Every structure is written in C-alpha cells, then in structure tokens.
C-alpha cells in the first residue's frame, strides 16, 4: 500500500504494499488521480488515425504476483507486538488508449493481500486479525484541446488494515478497521510556454467505514503549478484545501471527552513541493524529493488541531537486469491543545518514520523475482503512540 510522499484517503498507518512495475507504469499515466501529482508537462494529443500512424490504439498490461515473508508487528502494537509469517498474492491490470484524436482513457486495478499464517490475536476478547487487504480501481479520462487539457478521474479504494486512531477518533494509538473510499476528481490543466503548466482540480470523496469508526465526506479545491526543465526532471508546487465533516464523530473538550449533541468537522490546508530529477539516463537513475506542510483545525474546541510537516526521498536505478529502489519518509505532528495527560500537561507530539527497500531481478521480459524490506516506526511522548514494525517479503511477478 505505499505511495511516496502522502497516503491514500484512508490514511493507513502501515502503508500500502509497494507497487510492481505495472503499478509504476499505471501511475505515470493516471496523473490526474487525487493523490498523484500531475506531471510537469503534457504533450498535446497525437492527431491522426490508428492506421495512418502505425500505432496500436489500445495497450494493456496484466501482472500476477505471489510471495511470502514475515512481519514482526502486524497490528502496530506499542505494548504486545505479535509476529507471524505472511503469504502474499496480488494482481495489477493497466489499460490505456492513446490520445490519437485528443481523447485519452486509462483504467487501472490493483489488489494486494497479506495473509497471516499464525494467529494474530492480542487478547481473547478481541477478534483475530487474519489479513491485510487493499483493492484499488481507477478510471481516468483526459481531453487534449487546443489550449486546455481537461480531465475526470474516478477512484475506488477498499482497505482492511491497521490505521492511526487519532486520525479518526482523536485518541492516540492504532485501530483495526475496514472501509471504502469513492473519489471523484475533475481537473483542468493549461500548458504554458517554456514547458510550464498550471492546473486546477476539485476533489470530492466519500469515505465509508464499518463501525465504530465514523464515516465522512471530504471535499475541496487543489491548485498546482510546475516546470519540466528537462526530460523526466521537474519541479511541482501544489496547494489544497480540504473540508471533512464526519457522520457520527463528536466534538470533544480539550481533554478529549465527547460533547453530546455535536458533530465534528475538520479543515486542512496542505502545501507540497516536489522535485523529480534524472541524474544518469543510461542507468535510469532517478530521485524524487517531496516536502509538505499540513495545518488542521476543527470547528470545536481545538482537540484535533495540529500541524504536520514532513518529506520523503525516493531513489530508483536500473543496472542491466537489476532494479533497485529505496524510500525514506518522515513526518512530525505537533498538536496545538492535546496534552500527554493531566499529570503531564505538555503538548502531544508524534514522529512517523518509514524506510523501504526493494531489489528486483528480471529473468525474462515477463518474469522477475523481487525482495522487499519495510521498516515502520512511530515515536511520541504518549506511550500509546509508540511502535515499530518490520516486514520482510520475497516473491515472483509475471507480466502478460
């Protein structure tokens, strides 16, 4: 479930599985997705017919994945970590239509499951955790006009995982939950001279969780600008405003006690900058650096208010049949009013850190093996917020 600098709408604490090569190919085309920064420049539609250009109008890629490994803390527990071997299966499908007449359509589906071999049950009164599951479907349409590139993206995400509890309930710690997100994103992009662009989007999300986690709506505009100063190298800036009214989550007092007869709405302002750089084309050596700042306020007494700052660095290189990829991510939460406890009335803080590494060997044009390692760590001055987890995984991927 991992994406470089920001998480999917469900905000999973454990992150999404790293996508295979099919996933990276799809991400390059599905640049109008809510959580994918658009490329710095889009070429106009390729005018002509399929026969006259000698091109295949439609192209597709199917990837089947299987593997296994080990996870030492699948529930991200700060007190009683449990470990288990894991079995992983996955599938990715990507379909695209070239914009030979100005119309481009892309479809992407990804499904990943980690099934726990041993029982993961922290106590007899808690249901056993059997797996982690993420399903992602996305359809995107773009029209390359004479001056504007208009687009519409629809995304469905289902995840059954461990999540950051403070994101949904306000209290420190993690929670097991399952939910669906439906995301609609219309957009307009205007290419400028000098390989510059500006883009406007509006993001509408419906997030549905099983009880006891509250469902919510999420909506707001997003503005982006960027410059592709050389091939596969660019700078991008974005600003996003997000309003999130919850269905059942109540406002709280400064100590986190629910206030009856109230409903909570939060408001986020997010600033992000990214730098994509190709350093050595023969090795396809490329890095992507992202930094962001999020300020959250609520319509209640401020218990949910925080400032989050962070960034990530992704590096990838291909050496013959080998591919190497690494990711480092860190973010800091500073809460405005939340305190550690009434006995320790200092502001609550939290630091998230993540390191991911992947090595891949391509035996044939369609068959490859891989090995991955993921380290997740969270430190805080609240004991219930502290945890660390490690996941080792190896397997095979086949393209069709």
CATH code of 366's domain: 2.40.160
> Largest Cα–Cα distance of the chain, in whole Å?
76
As a whole number of angstroms, the distance between CA 157 and CA 184 comes to: 12
As a whole number of angstroms, the distance between CA 49 and CA 39 comes to: 26
Does residue 10 belong to any structural domain of this protein?
no
pLDDT tens sequence for the chain (400 residues) = 333 333 333 333 333 333 333 343 333 333 333 333 333 334 444 444 445 455 578 999 999 999 999 999 999 998 888 999 999 999 999 999 988 889 999 999 999 999 999 988 887 778 888 999 999 999 999 999 888 999 999 999 999 998 877 777 777 878 888 999 999 999 999 999 999 999 999 999 999 998 888 999 999 999 999 999 998 899 999 999 999 999 999 999 888 889 999 999 999 999 999 999 999 888 999 999 999 999 999 999 999 999 999 999 999 999 999 999 999 999 999 999 998 888 899 999 999 999 999 999 999 999 999 999 999 999 999 988 899 999 999 999 999 9
Does residue 211 belong to any structural domain of this protein?
yes
> pLDDT value at position 227?
97
Does residue 9 belong to any structural domain of this protein?
no
Does residue 56 belong to any structural domain of this protein?
yes
Please give the angle made by the CA atoms of 398, 15 and 122, to the nearest 5 degrees: 110
Buried/exposed code over 331-369 (b: 16+ C-beta within 10 A; e: otherwise): bebebbbbbbeeeeeeebbbebbbebebebebeeeeebe
CA 21 → CA 36, 199, 250, 256, 371, distances in Å?
Answer: 16, 27, 43, 44, 14
> pLDDT value at position 15?
35
> pLDDT value at position 54?
54
> pLDDT value at position 217?
97
Q: Which two tokens stand for residue 294?
A: 């999020």
Task: Give the total number of structural domains in the chain.
Answer: 1
CA-based Rg of the chain, rounded to a whole angstrom?
Answer: 22
Does residue 8 belong to any structural domain of this protein?
no
Does residue 75 belong to any structural domain of this protein?
yes
> pLDDT value at position 307?
97
- Domain hosting 310: range is 21-399
Does residue 12 belong to any structural domain of this protein?
no
148 CB-near residues (< 8 Å, 6+ apart): 188, 189, 190
Does residue 330 belong to any structural domain of this protein?
yes
């Amino acid at each position: 479930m991992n994406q470089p600098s920001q998480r999917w709408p469900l905000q999973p604490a454990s992150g999404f599985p790293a996508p295979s090569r099919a996933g990276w190919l799809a991400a390059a085309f599905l640049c109008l997705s809510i959580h994918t920064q658009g490329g710095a420049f889009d070429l106009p539609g390729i005018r002509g017919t399929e026969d006259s250009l000698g091109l295949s109008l439609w192209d597709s890629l199917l990837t089947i994945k299987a593997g296994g490994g080990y996870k030492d803390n699948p529930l991200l527990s700060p007190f009683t970590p449990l470990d288990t071997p894991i079995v992983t299966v996955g599938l990715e499908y990507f379909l695209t239509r070239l914009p030979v007449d100005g119309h481009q359509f892309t479809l992407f589906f990804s499904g990943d499951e980690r099934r726990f071999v041993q029982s993961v049950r922290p106590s007899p009164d808690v249901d056993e955790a059997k797996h982690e599951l993420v399903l992602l479907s996305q359809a995107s349409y773009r029209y390359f006009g004479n001056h504007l590139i208009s687009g519409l993206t629809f995304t469905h995400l289902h995840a059954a995982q461990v999540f950051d509890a403070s994101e949904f309930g306000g209290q420190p710690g993690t929670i097991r939950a399952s939910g669906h997100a439906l995301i609609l994103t219309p957009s307009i992009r205007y290419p400028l001279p000098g390989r510059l662009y500006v883009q406007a989007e509006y993001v509408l999300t419906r997030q549905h969780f099983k009880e006891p986690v509250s469902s919510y709506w999420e909506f707001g505009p997003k503005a982006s600008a960027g410059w592709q100063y050389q091939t596969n190298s660019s700078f991008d800036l974005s600003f996003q405003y997000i309003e999130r009214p919850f269905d059942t989550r109540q406002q709280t007092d400064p100590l986190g006690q629910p206030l009856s007869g109230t409903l909570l709405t939060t408001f986020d302002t997010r600033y992000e900058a990214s730098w994509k750089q190709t350093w050595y084309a023969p090795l396809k050596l490329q890095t992507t650096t992202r930094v962001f700042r999020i300020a959250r306020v609520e319509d209640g007494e401020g218990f949910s208010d925080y400032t989050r700052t962070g960034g990530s660095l992704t590096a990838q290189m291909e050496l013959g049949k080998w591919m190497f990829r690494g990711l480092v991510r860190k973010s800091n939460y500073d809460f405005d009013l939340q305190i550690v406890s009434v006995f320790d009335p200092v502001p609550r803080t939290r630091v998230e850190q993540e390191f991911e590494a992947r090595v891949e060997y391509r035996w044939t044009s369609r068959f490859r093996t891989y090995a991955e390692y993921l380290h997740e760590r969270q430190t805080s001055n609240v004991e219930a917020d502290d945890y660390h987890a490690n996941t080792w995984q190896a397997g095979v991927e086949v393209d069709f």
